[in-house]
Amino acid sequence: MKTNPSNSRRSFLGQLGLMAFLPSIARRRALEPNAEPSPWDMQWVDRVAKAPYKAVIDSTTIAEGNALNLAADIMDRFHDVYNGPDDQTRVVIVVRQMGTPLAFQDALWDRYAIGEDQKINDAATKAPARRNPFLRGSSNEPARGDKIEPLVARGLTILVCNRSAMNWARSFAEKTKRDVEEVRTEFRNGLVPGAVLMPDGIFALVRAQNAVCALMKA
């Protein structure tokens, strides 16, 4: 059947050379009614649901950290208008597809040369980043509020597409000729503070909207 080219997930998987991953959609479980409780941490929903103002930002590319800039702006403007505490406004960023590395710790950026791979320079060294440059400012930069650490301290939640994270892990395992499962475990445990793995990014986006988050695209 002819299909139109699109920026769909399949295109993304194709970019990573991971079309072979698609059949694993097939193993989607039809859980029996008596299945074990879900292993996914859904506590963020309660935090978000309590806030009177809330937004979810869909981040499918790193885009120079635009999602973080947008999150900071939403928090600041709601703070200005309502003059309330930070927990009155909850922002959720869903990182998926090519945006997923935003949620990887420095150690992963260093070990797998993500800066070089994604052509992202570190403002401090002007060279390909060997740390996650979106996590915190560098010593020679003025302090900035649109970095992950200060935003998480203000209540930002980052939801990470597990499917994308595992695809990134597989890709780097192949490049470095390491065991895929070992690297996947490393990525699963190597997320920035405040980040929560979700089964996939679409689930996270839909669930956040069902908790009455407004939808924004980074």
Partner 1 sequence: MTEDQARPARREFLGKLGVLTVAAALPADVARAEAAHAARATSPWDMSWVDRVTAAPYKVAVDTTKIQNDELYTALDILDTFHEVYGSDSGREPMQVVVVLRHFAAAMAQRDAMWERYGIGEERSVTDPETKAPAKRNPFLRPSPNAKESWERNSPIEALVARGVIFLVCNRATMGLASSLAKRVNKPVDEVKEDLRTNVVPGAILMPNGIFALVRAQNAGCAFYRNG
Least Å distance, CB 207 to partner 1, is 7
- Among 160, 216, 170, residue whose Cα is nearest residue 191: 160
- Among 31, 3, 21, residue whose Cα is nearest residue 164: 21
Nearer to partner 1 by Cβ, of 28 and 126: the residue is 28
Choose the stretch contacting partner 1; rule: CB under 8 A; options: 31-39, 76-84, 128-136, 186-194. Answer: 31-39
19 is a contact residue toward partner 1 (CB under 8 A): no
Which of 49, 107, 127, 215: binder of partner 1 (CB under 8 A)?
A: 215
38 is a contact residue toward partner 1 (CB under 8 A): yes
Alpha helices in 105-179 (DSSP H): 106-111, 114-118, 148-153, 162-176
Which of 20, 30, 119, 177: binder of partner 1 (CB under 8 A)?
A: 30
Which of 103, 148, 185, 207: binder of partner 1 (CB under 8 A)?
A: 207
209 is a contact residue toward partner 1 (CB under 8 A): yes
Residue 128 CA to residue 148 CA, distance in Å, equals 19
Sign of CA dihedral 62, 68, 69, 73: positive
Strands (E), the chain: 53-59, 89-95, 157-161, 195-198, 214-217
Nearer to partner 1 by Cβ, of 7 and 121: the residue is 7
Q: Going residue by residue from 182 to 201, which x/- string records binding to partner 1, judged by CB under 8 A?
A: -----------------xx-
Q: How many binding residues for partner 1 (CB under 8 A)? A: 34
Residue 144 CA to residue 136 CA, distance in Å, equals 8
Residue 182 CA to residue 162 CA, distance in Å, equals 15
Sign of CA dihedral 172, 174, 176, 179: positive
Two tokens, residue 119: 């052509």
Q: Going residue by residue from 39 to 78, which x/- string records binding to partner 1, judged by CB under 8 A?
A: -x-x------------------------------------
Nearer to partner 1 by Cβ, of 26 and 143: the residue is 26
C-alpha 146: how far from chain center: 15
Least Å distance, CB 85 to partner 1, is 27
Binding site for partner 1 (CB under 8 A): 1-4, 6-10, 22-23, 25-31, 33, 35, 38, 40, 42, 199-200, 202-203, 205-210, 215
